[in-house]
Amino acid sequence: MALRKLRNAAAAEAMPLFKRSAGGPKALASSLPFFYGRWGEPKPLDQLKLLELAEGDADVRACLDAVVDAATANGWYVVGDEAARKVVEDWLREHEDEFYLFLRNLVLTTLVFDESYVECTGGFPRVVAPWTMQVVRDEFGEVKGYVQHASKTVSFTPDEVVHIVLHPLADRAYGTPKIATLSRILLAKREAELFLFQVFMRKGVLSKAILLKQGDEATFNRLKAVLEQAKPGDNLLMMGDIEVKTLSQPVEDLRIIELLEEFRQRIMAVFRVPPIVYGVVEGLNLETSRNQMTTFSQYVKSLQRVFAAGVTMALRRILGVEGFSLRLVEWVNIEQETHIHVERVRAGIESVEEARRAMGLGPPPSEAGGK
């Protein structure tokens, strides 16, 4: 009897903390998400702080606008079963302007936070503020729902929200924002810009040291009061044995301009926006610009596939229709597109007229003139 009890105790101690159902997941989530229960897992980063950094930096905003324009400007189309495609196309045609604004909002939000939440409970998809949303998962990392902490707490089932994450890592519930990667650079850049602003507000006056070689404490205090009341750029007339020395030129000594250029290059590198798209053409040759544009095109194409997949899931839930997929029209560099069509014409795959129509051009000048 005692031996049986000992065996039962040993077996109980050997049992795993969590059981899995037949055919279900086995590996546990690394973050122990079940600990937070229905309140959802907290965000590892302060997303409002990231938003402040993104909105306050001109280079970040320029890069974000470039990527958003490239991903959304050419529009969309629907593929799939004819019946399902017609339903979706009719809906998109009816909500075309509203849907375009939604799509830009979705892309921009996801680029800033590396994640977005699309609510599918109504007749039109809505982008929910990411900093108010948290994911509810079980011990295996499977999503059981979402919860919004705003003026009230709102719970969502997994089917009511499409959670888009650009850079998922292992079993993490949230993305890895590029703004977080750039946070130290953005903070340093902000201080450098503030320093430069203060220099301009002082009308570029250099730092100076005024040496009072003779005089008593009362004279020193009167001179100090005059200097403190003077405005940048004011001319001062002083009597006595006084020497004025220029200390330094801070903008040159600290290489502020060069630092700002280096910060901008790092920001463009992280957002994968080539200088020629940003508007910087200095030091670029034709071959370099082509390579950069090719890389940028591939990056935008990968983003479009992610957003198209997320929007397709949202529309399927809202419209209750299956058997279709939404696609975003690829962003193509005009020079690359022209080169592709030239090669196709040379190979006999398409005619000159077909190539011009594909690029949105009319008939050749000779034919247009004849008509």
Average pLDDT over residues 256-264: 84
Q: What's the half-sphere exposure (Cβ side, CA atoms, 13 Å) at 144? A: 14
Is the per-residue pLDDT at 18 higher than 50?
no
Question: How would DSSP label each residue in 290-355?
Answer: HHHHHHHHHHHHHHHHHHHHHHHHHHHHHHT--SEEEEEPPP--HHHHHHHHHHHHHHTSS-HHHH
What's the pLDDT score for residue 85? Answer: 93
Burial of 41 (0-12, 13-18, 19+ CB in 10 A): buried
Q: Are 321 and 87 in contact (CB under 8 A)?
A: yes
> Which has the closest alpha carbon to 310: 332, 326, 334?
326
Distances 221 to 213, 216, 237, 277, 306 between C-alpha atoms, Å:
14, 9, 16, 57, 68
Distance (Å, rounded) from C-alpha 291 to C-alpha 162? 35
- pLDDT 10s digits, 316-369: 999 999 999 999 988 876 666 676 667 778 877 778 887 777 666 667 766 545
Which residues, 6+ apart, have CB-to-CB distance to 300 below 8 Å? 67, 70, 71, 330, 331
**Per DSSP, which regions of 28-103 are E strands?**
76-80
Distance (Å, rounded) from C-alpha 328 to C-alpha 305? 8
Which residues, 6+ apart, have CB-to-CB distance to 222 below 8 Å? none
- pLDDT 10s digits, 261-291: 888 989 998 999 888 777 665 555 555 566 7
Burial of 140 (0-12, 13-18, 19+ CB in 10 A): middle
Burial of 33 (0-12, 13-18, 19+ CB in 10 A): buried
> Which has the closest alpha carbon to 141: 165, 171, 174?
171
What's the pLDDT score for residue 35? Answer: 84
- pLDDT 10s digits, 218-248: 777 777 777 777 665 566 666 666 666 555 5
- pLDDT 10s digits, 41-75: 999 899 999 999 999 999 999 999 999 999 998 89
Distances 154 to 43, 62, 137, 165 between C-alpha atoms, Å:
17, 35, 16, 21
What's the pLDDT score for residue 13? Answer: 47
> Which has the closest alpha carbon to 115: 97, 100, 101, 135?
135
Collect contacts of 219-222 with beta carbons under 8 A, ≥24 apart: none
- pLDDT 10s digits, 178-187: 999 999 999 9
